[in-house]
Structure 1
């Protein structure tokens, strides 16, 4: 366990420092990222693999088409630089689940099997749902906004401007399912080397991949519904962009000023984690 903690800290320091240097994280985000990554990798390599799959793929996609995103996004940051609030809104619930797992199993890996452990299967299912949702939301947002397809508000299906909270495209939804699949693979593949299962349990682990794809899609849909209803979107005639705060020059498009983007992320992650946790108990 001690060696695993040292390795986890070294890997996390290198990634956090490199991400700060490349402007994927600011100083606060780098410190928060170091803590979260160290925790995940120290407790279970597969948890770390899911986190890193989310972080690296999302960071890469955030930087794709920056010129076009700058023209659309009123809160655009070069490199997609994230602070500690954004880090914890996308990994805080997972960190709580990881700590709960550690208290129950220390760093011992396990196969998903509710007959063996109802609670552990539930916790791991929540983690899979968490990162499938986070990755799905990011992929759908980053790729969907680059699509030539006209976004439609998920609650009314009426065409809306790019950047409107709750606006969805077919390309974005497909990206969300693909993003969930990546998380499923990140969980399943390391398990071939870190844990021996019975034959029946081993084959069942492969069901995590379609489950995570469904969780990625479901998480993106939940996020879009929350964004369309509880997050404000309006068009600013001065900036000529969609903004998330009301103002004298802003014409409302949809939503209420109840949640900001981080709040929407937390609620959608929580709901998707719960749904995936229940699904794992049923499937496994």
Structure 2
């Protein structure tokens, strides 16, 4: 958190939005999730491995940003610095993908529609690795949107950009939305191809 704040309030804001909204999404429909997912953790509990995997890469990037910029919050401007722009884009993309994956998993499982496996689009049981629903994918896009909107709004308050440069910052919102959706799709593809999904006839899960 400290590193994110040193690099700029926008980065701390994205981190907070990710963790607060992801934790909230985990708490939605706890009773139904517990019945569907034996690995469900009540109250959105996260262990240190999950925290590290969700913020580790972004933390490295924000440290690099702070070193390059000297802690000054800069606008996204390729003409000024392509390196800083790439690093900032990496942080935005990271949190958009992570948030998209979380919202999709936590809210998609509550969808009334039957999930379909992403590789063949055949219907599968809820909780099956690689299963997707329209509701889940929309949640992923909304999660990415929230990250992009946070970045743009805080940037409006904390950076000094020309009107032309600021207008270009608005492109972050649709790009982050797409990144949230991609994060969910990539996770679903990995789940469908690399993770085992079984069914217990005794527990009916």
Do both share a fold (TM > 0.5)?
A: yes
Aligned length: 205
Alignment of 1:157-168 (within 5 A): 157-168=121-132
Matching residue of 2:2: 38
Alignment of 1:23-62 (within 5 A): 37-62=1-26
1: CA distance, partners of 2:30 / 2:126 = 14
Between the aligned partners of 1:218 and 1:77, the Cα distance in structure 2 is 25
Name which of 89, 92, 109 aligns with 2:56.
Answer: 92
CA distance in 2, matches of 1:88, 1:134: 12
The Cα of 1:146 is off from its aligned counterpart by 0.5
What is the alpha-carbon distance in structure 2 between the residues aligned to residue 86 and residue 108 of structure 1?
30
Q: CA deviation at 1:77?
A: 1.4
Q: CA deviation at 1:43?
A: 2.2
Separation in 1, partners of 2:48, 2:71: 26
Residue 100 of structure 1, CA deviation: 1.1
Runs (5+) with no aligned partner, structure 2: none
Corresponding residue of 1:222: 186
Task: Establish whether residue 128 from structure 1 lines up as the match of residue 92 from structure 2.
Answer: yes
- 1:1-284 alignment to 2 at 5 Å? 37-241=1-205
The secondary structure found in structure 1 opposite 2:76 is coil
**How far off its partner does 1:237 sit?**
2.6
Contact 2:117-2:131 within 8 A present in 1 as well = yes
TM-score of the two chains, using structure 2 as the length reference? 0.97
What TM-score comes out, normalization by structure 1 length? Answer: 0.71
CA deviation profile, 1:244-269 (whole Å, cap 9, x unmatched): xxxxxxxxxxxxxxxxxxxxxxxxxx
